[in-house]
Structure 1
């Protein structure tokens, strides 16, 4: 089997999910070519696992100070290049196309009549999951941004729908974590504002991940440049996580048994919906705007929740190899029977 795998690279969550799938696909000896779009190649990091991958400009949303700027998004979009890439991408040499909400591979497969599997959190929004800031425009983006002939949405709970548990690395949770250590990952917020908010909270050690080129330590605040291994180490050592309301980091934190506080990006329906789902499930806490008082209250009162998820990536790969692509519901039911929460 030969697969073309498209990944929306705007945020690190899609790439993290692709890393998990890469390991599962490689373990079964499947040949895969990867395409990443939505971020310049020079801003990608720790990409060795994907071999000689391809980067396309694609389409992404511009976010400034925690809010989507729709004017800049439209102004900076190169629709001519996007259209050309969709129309000229050759998918005929592949048995199947997988898209993690990546538009070029999805549309190229659609126009070529090639089977395309949508694999990612966004595909869960076809079903009656918790939704916030829903609108006709948001629904159209979810439906048409990267359409697939078969889609597997992922979420923290099935909500009675045929969706999958999160695709994450399923390493065992650490036996102990530092209750005073907090991981902070707010890439869409103003860093100076974030640091000003946590600076008074001197009883905690904060590991802040940002696009800084060099690490630094300022009392109880440690600044870390982006890096997969260091991030995973800090995630395992901490007991609390403060992040935007993306899907993948919250999924990893839940699986490892971390306290979660999210601040959704304003104007993004997916993140607002994720925050709502975390609250409804009792899995995490959300704040509409950054607040030192809110963070302090959460650190002192919020419970730790752990949800043990199965190896979804390995199960998806076996499903692909079995060739029973007309029965995605069976895989969903099988996996949710193994989920446990504490």
Structure 2
């Protein structure tokens, strides 16, 4: 069997999930990966056969999306050209992790795919949303990468086609410890937006992962790290808690490890606002705006006793078998 797997590289989570799934997918057949977008900062150890600039996210300085930069960097003619060039009819199954180029190619070439991943869960009305829904956000979630079939991943099984998150082997096989530091991963924030707040909490050690940090180094109570999967896993496994965005994979792994989580969803990022709504239902504190009292918010969070529901890890073999059976139906 020949398998085409499209990865949306607007962040590291999609690549991390595909990397975990790859050896399991190989049990079903030969896998070729398509990488679309250029926001990811992880090393990619996958057989990437096709690439496209696709559509990528751009951030403002302190925690928001820059829609102007997103729009001006989209190249419709190139996207059309890339979609035309994908030889999808050569594959027995097309798995799409929320990529618009692959969805367009399927439409043009009259083949079908299965949308597999976190965004697929939003097809269900049972999946949590914020109190104020965004019409544009809902349209993007449902029409950005349309597919006739969906298999979603989320924190809880909100619907029959939604499965638990894919947790990396490094996490499920770990023996977590509490070495008292706080891990920080907030890719939409530049350093000077938060540095002062962290330094105010001089008795708290922070491990801060940033895209523009070339090497590990320490300044006061902050150890700066480059974005590196091995280093991040180690920090997360041994942290007291994590401050992160409103993404999916990182909060899921932290909750699986029974770590404290403080979520700061990217401003004006509707999917992250939806994830924040789900996290709040689970008891996770959510901060929507970072202001001058952020150090006090962190201090309150650290001093609060928080008990989360236990996060279940995906049974990957079962889920992939369900995926292949769904595709054939």
Match 2:55 to one of 59, 76, 89:
59
Residue 224 of structure 2 aligns to a residue whose secondary structure is strand
What are the within-5 Å matches in structure 2 for residues 102-113 of structure 1?
A: 102-113=99-110
Verify the 8 A CA contact 1:244 1:264 in the aligned structure 2. yes
Q: CA deviation at 1:38?
A: 1.1
Match of 1:267 in 2: 268
Distance 1:52 1:268 in 2: 28
| 1:153-182 C-alpha deviation (Å, 9 max, x unpaired) | 11111234531111222514525322x211
Change in 2 beyond 3 A, CA 1:160/1:103:
closer
Match of 2:237 in 1: 236
TM-score (norm 2): 0.91
After superposition, the CA RMSD in angstroms is 1.9
Match of 2:195 in 1: 195
Distance 1:92 1:183 in 2: 44
What are the within-5 Å matches in structure 2 for residues 29-44 of structure 1?
A: 30-39=29-38, 44=41
Match of 1:289 in 2: 289
Paired residues in the alignment total 320
| 1:213-260 C-alpha deviation (Å, 9 max, x unpaired) | 121111221100011111111110102010011111011111111111
Verify the 8 A CA contact 1:172 1:256 in the aligned structure 2. no
Match 1:309 to one of 303, 307, 312:
312
Q: CA deviation at 1:300?
A: 1.1
Q: CA deviation at 1:316?
A: 2.3
Verify the 8 A CA contact 1:258 1:306 in the aligned structure 2. no
Stretch deviating more after TM superposition (200-209 or 166-175):
166-175
Distance 1:176 1:243 in 2: 19
Match of 1:339 in 2: none
Change in 2 beyond 3 A, CA 1:219/1:245:
same
Q: Which runs of 4+ in 1 moved over 4 A?
A: none
Q: CA deviation at 1:320?
A: 4.3
Matched, 1:152 2:154: no
Q: CA deviation at 1:135?
A: 2.2
Match of 1:218 in 2: 219
What are the within-5 Å matches in structure 2 for residues 120-159 of structure 1?
A: 120-128=117-125, 129-132=127-130, 133-159=132-158
Matched, 1:252 2:253: yes
Matched, 1:95 2:92: yes
Stretch deviating more after TM superposition (120-129 or 242-251):
120-129
Distance 1:320 1:190 in 2: 39
Change in 2 beyond 3 A, CA 1:80/1:53:
same
TM-score (norm 1): 0.88
Unaligned runs of 5+ in 1: 328-342
Verify the 8 A CA contact 1:110 1:148 in the aligned structure 2. no
Match of 2:66 in 1: 69
| 1:37-68 C-alpha deviation (Å, 9 max, x unpaired) | 1107xx643212x1244321001232112111
Verify the 8 A CA contact 2:214 2:226 in the aligned structure 1. yes
Distance 1:287 1:44 in 2: 25
Residue 167 of structure 2 aligns to a residue whose secondary structure is coil
Verify the 8 A CA contact 2:15 2:44 in the aligned structure 1. no
Match of 2:5 in 1: 5
Match of 1:82 in 2: 79
Change in 2 beyond 3 A, CA 1:276/1:324:
closer
Verify the 8 A CA contact 1:123 1:151 in the aligned structure 2. yes
Q: CA deviation at 1:304?
A: 4.5
Stretch deviating more after TM superposition (196-205 or 158-167):
158-167
Change in 2 beyond 3 A, CA 1:304/1:16:
farther
